[in-house]
Amino acid sequence: MTGALNGVLVADFSRVLAGPYASMLLGDLGATVIKVERPGAGDDTRAWGPPFAADGQSTYFHAVNRNKRSLALDIGAAADQRIAQRLAERADIVLENFKPGALSRYGLDYQSVVTTNPSVIYCSISGFGTGAGADLPGYDLLVQAMGGLMSITGTDEPTKAGVAVVDVLTGLHATVAILAALRHRELTGAGQLVEVSLLSSLLSALVNQASGFVGAGVIPTFMGNAHPSIAPYEVYQTADRPLVIAVGNDSQFSALATAINCPHLATDNRFATNPARVANRSALATELTVALATEGADHWRQVLTAVNVPCGPINDVSQAFTLAAELGLDPIALVEDAANGANQVANPVRYSVTPATYHLSPPMVGQDNASVIAEFDLA
């Protein structure tokens, strides 16, 4: 079996998270990914620790840099700049997240690359676009703040997500865009420029909250673990520890009410329909908390799951991996070339014919210079 992107060459000039996440996904699917980075220090995330892996590199770097070969180049130096340009000339995909316009001085911007490589798919990732926001720094935390996510997250004050979720979402959008552009090139022979910004990706990912504003003028705010449009859909305290209950329709609510020995709640006008439950969320929470306090979380999980009411405990990351393993999801991947790093978090997609592969562990800075330069005739 070969990867779906076998034979596709990616020149990856991106750093930190959004771009490297996208290029790693392409590498998982069989693309040859050449990671271009600074000699010596390399990608900033190599030093973003602790924790550090056994090879001395940060586990942050490991998270998004498997299935790549490292080419260390000083693109400000003439000889290295020419190597980078040759790589871009040969690449099917060029991926970068420099400050908009910064690569033009090195002959690595889209207009320069497309002149010698007209079929190239050139994906540019920015924080706030290439117009009036071009000079704004594209850090995930800033976009979470300025893009509205923090305003709807938290309990007592606006709060960031526990992971750089905007970078991840942008990397996913970039990957989808690149694959669509590859399909277009397959049909027409034409490459194109693909632009993705963190801010636009976040606004799209706000889904119902964004739609509520665009379609109805509603400006949401943080609600803790509650949902603005569904109830009961949050965290509830039991006799020993919290339990998440996620009821999505009236039938599930009726089953919940019966299971916790409060069948009358399903016919109470305050709670009989989802809009009514949302309007009376506080009163409903009081009723549920009293009922759930009679037993522990494990008891309620067993009882509620038996009647198809979605519920579950709040796991830590270790428990989450244990759960995935128990469910047969194989969350940890074995890297075939394990010389330079530990095992990896598995690609989440399963393919019946062209599965993701894990053939290269995250590289050391510049470890592949000689082989890459020779193989692709870059000298």
Q: What is the 3-state secondary structure (H, E, C) of 81-105?
A: HHHHHHHHHHCCEEEECCCCCHHHH
**Residue 98 CB contacts under 8 Å (≥ 6 apart), including other chains:** 13
Task: Provide the pLDDT confidence category of residue 334 given band limits of 50, 70 and 90.
Answer: confident
Tell whether 179 and 255 lie within a shared domain.
no
In this prediction, residues 213-231 reach a mean pLDDT of: 95
pLDDT of residue 357: 93
Q: How many domains does the chain fold into?
A: 2
For the record, the structure tokens of 330 come out as: 């194989």
Q: Is the pLDDT of residue 319 over 60?
A: yes
Tell whether 167 and 299 lie within a shared domain.
no
Are the CB atoms for 257 and 263 separated by under 8 Å? Answer: yes
Give percent of the chain above pLDDT 70: 98
Give percent of the chain above pLDDT 90: 95
Tell whether 294 and 337 lie within a shared domain.
no
Decide which of 313, 346, 362 is a domain's last residue: 313
Q: Is the pLDDT of residue 340 over 80?
A: no
* 33 C-beta neighbours (distance < 10 Å), count: 27
In this prediction, residues 58-62 reach a mean pLDDT of: 95
Tell whether 160 and 26 lie within a shared domain.
yes
In this prediction, residues 189-208 reach a mean pLDDT of: 98
Tell whether 77 and 201 lie within a shared domain.
yes
pLDDT, tens digit, 9 for 90 and up, residues 10-47? 999 999 999 999 999 999 999 999 999 999 999 999 99
For the record, the structure tokens of 194 come out as: 């693909």
Tell whether 333 and 368 lie within a shared domain.
yes
**What torsion do the CA atoms of 279, 285, 288, 289 make, to the nearest 10 degrees?**
-170
Tell whether 118 and 179 lie within a shared domain.
yes
Task: Provide the pLDDT confidence category of residue 337 given band limits of 50, 70 and 90.
Answer: confident
In a domain, 213, yes or no: no
In a domain, 365, yes or no: yes
In a domain, 263, yes or no: yes
Q: Is the pLDDT of residue 338 over 70?
A: no
Q: Which of 347, 346, 12, 19 shows the shortest CA–CA distance to 167?
A: 19
In this prediction, residues 84-104 reach a mean pLDDT of: 97
Q: Is the pLDDT of residue 168 over 70?
A: yes
Tell whether 146 and 35 lie within a shared domain.
yes
CA distances from 9 to 36, 92, 288, 350, 371 (A): 13, 5, 56, 23, 15
- Domain boundaries, position 306: 233-237+242-313
| CA separation for the pair 237, 258 (Å, rounded) | 18
Check which CATH number belongs to the domain holding 296 and give it: 3.30.1540.10
Tell whether 48 and 141 lie within a shared domain.
yes
pLDDT of residue 1: 54
| CA separation for the pair 104, 122 (Å, rounded) | 14
In a domain, 256, yes or no: yes
In a domain, 346, yes or no: yes
- Active-site residue, 55 included: no
Q: Is the pLDDT of residue 339 over 90?
A: no
In a domain, 321, yes or no: no
Q: Write down the mean pLDDT value for the chain.
A: 96
* Beta strand 192-197 pairing with 9-12: unpaired
**Residue 347 CB contacts under 8 Å (≥ 6 apart), including other chains:** 25, 28, 333, 356
Tell whether 151 and 282 lie within a shared domain.
no
Tell whether 298 and 157 lie within a shared domain.
no
Catalytic pick among 43, 92, 167, 368: 167
58: phi then psi, degrees, rounded to nearest 5? -70, 145
Q: Which of 130, 97, 103 shows the shortest CA–CA distance to 18?
A: 97
Tell whether 81 and 146 lie within a shared domain.
yes
In this prediction, residues 113-130 reach a mean pLDDT of: 97
Residue written as token pair 């959004």: 18
Q: 9 pairs with which residues across the strands?
A: 32
In a domain, 43, yes or no: yes
Report whether the peptide linkage leading into residue 118 is cis, meaning its omega lies within 30 degrees of zero. Answer: no
Check which CATH number belongs to the domain holding 25 and give it: 3.40.50.10540
pLDDT of residue 120: 98
In this prediction, residues 220-237 reach a mean pLDDT of: 95
In this prediction, residues 60-84 reach a mean pLDDT of: 97
In a domain, 3, yes or no: no
